[in-house]
Amino acid sequence: MNLSSTLKYLFFITFLFSLTFTYAQDEDIYVYGDNPTNNQNNQNRGFSWDKVTLGGNIGATFGDVTYFEIAPVAGYYFTPNIIGGIGANYIYYNDKFINFSTNIYGGRVFGQYLVDFAPLVAHVEAEIINVEKFNRERFNIYNFYVGGGLRQSLGGNSYLFLMVLWNLNETQESFYIQQNPIYRFGIAIGL
């Protein structure tokens, strides 16, 4: 995908997200970021399943290079604006040209800050990935991502997101797995 088509795609997604915020609203009824069910739960300082979200992504390509990825995540609303969570990922990679296939797996911890007055989210993440070299020796790659994006509430603690992240610890090995920047689109479902 070249830069021009990437920018057109991002503009289109931004336009779709912004459409939901162009209508007039009564400030007493709803303000972006308000969640009436969370206001009652904030008085209860203990763990609450109402503050948990589950989500992640699934991706696949087939052909001369087969790529399958599954990456579930679980998050928790520590405050109405701060989410923290953990995730795992698994990738199957098979390249017919060089007769190489491997399994890549790892885990991550993340934090997000949700902006009250706009559909924006800031994101930080630390990730460890275990990969295999061509000589079948395995090693770990440590990635640290920062970035942000757009977030559209679906009600409760459920939302759609589109993020652009940069790996601040990009190495030659991590460059072959994911090049900067990294685009993520997904959904999180509140329990």
pLDDT of 50 reads 84
Q: What angle do CA 148, 45, 77 make, to 5 degrees?
A: 15
Q: Identify the structural domains of the chain with CATH numbers, from first to last.
A: 51-190 (2.40.160.20)
Q: What is the DSSP string of 108-146?
A: EEEEEEE-SSSSEEEEEEEEEEEEE-TTS-EEEEEEEEE
If we measure between CA atoms, which residue out of 65, 66, 86, 67 comes closest to residue 75? 86
Element (H, E) at 35: none
Report how far residue 112's alpha carbon sits from residue 166's, in angstroms, rounded to the nearest whole number.
15
pLDDT of residue 28: 41
Kindly report the pTM of this predicted structure: 0.66
Q: What is the pLDDT along the chain (191 residues), one digit of tens a residue?
A: 555 555 455 555 544 444 444 333 334 444 445 554 554 444 556 788 888 989 888 888 888 888 888 989 999 999 988 999 999 999 898 888 888 888 999 999 999 998 888 889 899 999 999 988 778 889 898 989 999 999 888 877 788 888 899 988 877 666 556 678 888 888 788 77
Residue where the block lists tokens 């009250």: 116
Say if residues 163 and 183 touch (Cβ distance below 8 Å).
yes
Would you say 92 and 103 are in contact if contact means Cβ atoms under 8 Å apart? yes
Cis ω before 36 (30° cut-off from 0): no
Whether the CB-CB separation of 186 and 151 falls below 8 Å is answered with no
pLDDT of residue 188: 80
**140: which 2 tokens?**
């770990």
Q: How far apart are CA 154 and CA 162, in angstroms?
A: 14
